[in-house]
Structure 1
Amino acid sequence: MKRLLKRLILTLLTSALLIAAAMAWNVYHTAIPEPTTFAKVTPPPAFTPLRLRVVTWNLWGIFGFTPRRAERMQVIAREIVKLNPDIVGFQEVFVQADRDLLTTALREAGLPHSRYFSSGLVGSGLLLVSRFPIESDGFIRYADGGRPEAVHHGDWWAGKGLSLSTLRLPDGSPLYIANTHMHARYRGQYHATQLAQGRQLLPWASRVKDTGAPALWLGDWNNKPDSDVLAPLIASGDWRHLTGDKTAIDHIFGSGPAWQWHVLSLGKLTGLLTATPKVPWSDHAARWIEVELRRQP
């Protein structure tokens, strides 16, 4: 009996230490620091309008939890190449093999630059792939990431946040690219968390605006544009809603006081697996836009 009791105590202590270590790692591990440089940009006197095709897509890529994940990623890689994008912001790409598959397919399609933003125990799930060089990047981790005991929701363990990168356009102009995945509401349980995440991003939206550079803000925002979470951000950063659907929660916004984002076309991409018609490619549709970036007259 004493042996069994000792084993039980040892097992409980070991489990408690492992959980504490995992929680400590999750809290302190963010591989990419916050951005620090926000130099003011003088728009070039002559800027040739530039066409860009931009995509945001939550891929539902959670190891062991999402159905037919590897099969779906093969289809997604094929379909995203068909869109012929210039910039893609993915969310929920937690598995390294999936990231390798997507970056390889897009590299062969002419998008050689990519960044994954490692954070927390699981990783932020944010992957950026670009036709243009990525000159710098940073990661703003959400201070309020949800609840650690809500393991079935997973957001706290993912160390989510907003990635903020600087691309270099062909004429030498910088372009800020932000990508995020805000906490889901789960029937209103995390409204306060979303509000806190939105407030945390307010100064970053202002800093980017003050540079005068063009910027694109992509992601699964888990909110409509007119929500109390996103409306203050839109006002603070002078964002324009480019993806059009105001009932959606996945959006692309454009900003930059000296720039115009002229939407030429837009759409969404979704489908079902051929072999398993009940399984969608993802539980989110891809949102894409083709825009022409112009100088303000």
Structure 2
Amino acid sequence: MMIALSKARNLNLRLLLFALITAVLVAVSANETSAQKLSGEVEIKTMTYNIYSARKMGIEAIAAVIRKVNPDVVSLQEVERNTDVNPMDFPKEIAALTGMKYYFFAHALTLKKGDYGNVILSKYPLLQTKSIHLGVADDGDDTRSFGYALLEKDGKQFYFATTHLGYKKDDATRLKQINEILKEIKNLKQPIILGADLNSRPNSQTMPALQKWFTLPCQISNCEWTVPTPKPTYTCDWLIYAPHQAFEVKDYAVQFWADKESDHYPVVGTFNLK
């Protein structure tokens, strides 16, 4: 009898402890939410992902990665639409598979069959969208695109953008494209986050040129490498923002668990929009 009472008492103590821990966690979460509301800040979870045209494991695998991250908004690079590799309206299909029903395709190239570019996926309506083609220097690189959308979350508006800069070793095309991007966005009235494959090889001028306008979420020397999978050697996938005072970086990390679905790792950044 005494043994049974002791077991019951221990069980009740464990249940009480569990209830207390749960209450504390709920209170902490509520306090963080209340603090955000009082400060007027809005949390935005963003993601950028070069998907290698979903050549490795298909569209379902890419969608599964996005669902696991559960971001508010996503930038995808190397998207093929209605091609032999992806014989479907890829942006529409991946929007359906991820439950992110708002999407925008930023066209870069028309192929022999289908086309190629970047995509924005969003949980929130795209209030405005625009894309431009980016120029090429005399180095035989491909035409690229820059696309952006105006979104609103919890009463706060911001722009989210996507691009994939030139791949040649020399910086000439990338610097030309960066100048065109900065010219395009300099008169925007709301803050902006850019998710991109910047092909920013070590010691290139790509990042210094972008830092004329954008802020990086980490020091270049300390940022986690993103390419290639499964053994990355440098960082070329980024989430960067402007103006500096509009955002606070809450969390920023490469998703190293997603090492088979593409030749790039996805990057996730959570920002507080002030």
Q: CA deviation at 1:271?
A: 3.8
CA 1:232–1:271: 2 relative to 1, 3 Å: closer
Which residue does the alignment assign to 1:177?
A: 160
Q: How much has 1:200 moved relative to structure 2?
A: 2.0
Whether 1:104 aligns to 2:96 is: yes
The letter for the 2-side match of 1:73 is I
Q: Which residue of 2 is the match for residue 293 of structure 1? A: 273
Q: 1:195 aligns to what?
A: 175
2:214 paired with 1:245: no
Which structure 2 segments of 5+ residues have no match? 1-37, 83-87, 226-233
- Name the SS for the 1:120 alignment partner: strand
Q: Helix, strand or coil: the match of 1:198?
A: helix
Residue number in structure 1 paired with 2:127: 135
Matches of 2:64 and 2:103, distance apart in 1: 17
Q: Contact 1:242 / 1:263 at 8 angstroms: preserved in 2?
A: no
Match of 2:53 in 1: 61
Q: Does 1:121 align with 2:97?
A: no
3-state SS in 2 of match to 1:100: helix
Structure 2 counterpart of 1:206, which letter? Answer: K
User: How far, CA to CA, are the matches of 1:118 and 1:201 in structure 2?
Assistant: 15
- In structure 2, distance between residues paired with 1:162 and 1:146: 20
* Cα deviation 1:23-54 (Å, max 9, x = unaligned): xxxxxxxxxxxxxxxxxxxxxxx762211211
> Structure 2: which amino acid aligns with 1:242?
P
Are 1:50 and 2:29 matched, yes or no? no
Q: 2:200 is matched with which residue?
A: 223
Shift of 1:225: 8.5
Residue 202 of structure 1, CA deviation: 2.7
2: distance between equivalents of 1:102 and 1:146? Answer: 35
Q: Check conservation: 1:53, 1:289, Cα contact below 8 A.
A: yes
Which amino acid letter does the alignment assign opposite residue 293 of structure 1? L
1:87-122: CA deviation from partner (whole Å, max 9, x where unpaired):
000011113434333111222xxx221111234313
Cα pair 1:60 1:93 within 8 Å, conserved? yes
Q: Structure 1 residues 120, 265: closer, same or farther in 2, change over 3 A?
A: closer
Structure 1 residues 147, 207: closer, same or farther in 2, change over 3 A?
same
Return the index of the structure with the highest Cα Rg. 2
Match of 1:167 in 2: 151
How far 1:222 moved relative to its partner?
A: 0.3
AA in 1 matched with 2:224: D
- Residue matched to 1:276: none
CA positional deviation for 1:184: 0.8
The 2-side partners of 1:291 and 1:269 are apart by 20
Q: CA RMSD in A?
A: 2.6
Match of 2:58 in 1: 72
Give the CA deviation at 1:257. 5.4
| Structure 2 length-normalised TM | 0.70
Q: Percent identity?
A: 18
Q: Say whether 1:268 aligns with 2:251.
A: no
Q: Which runs of 5+ in 1 are unaligned?
A: 1-45, 149-154, 273-279
Query: What is the DSSP-based 3-state SS (H/G/I as helix, E as strand, rest coil) of the residue aligned with 2:205?
Result: coil
**In 2: Cα distance, 1:168 partner to 1:145 partner:** 36
> Is 2:255–2:268's contact at 8 Å kept on the other side of the alignment?
yes
TM-score norm. by structure 1 comes to 0.65
Q: 2:69 aligns with which of 47, 72, 83?
A: 83
1:128 CA drift (Å)? 0.5
- Between stretches 48-57 and 255-264, larger displacement belongs to 255-264
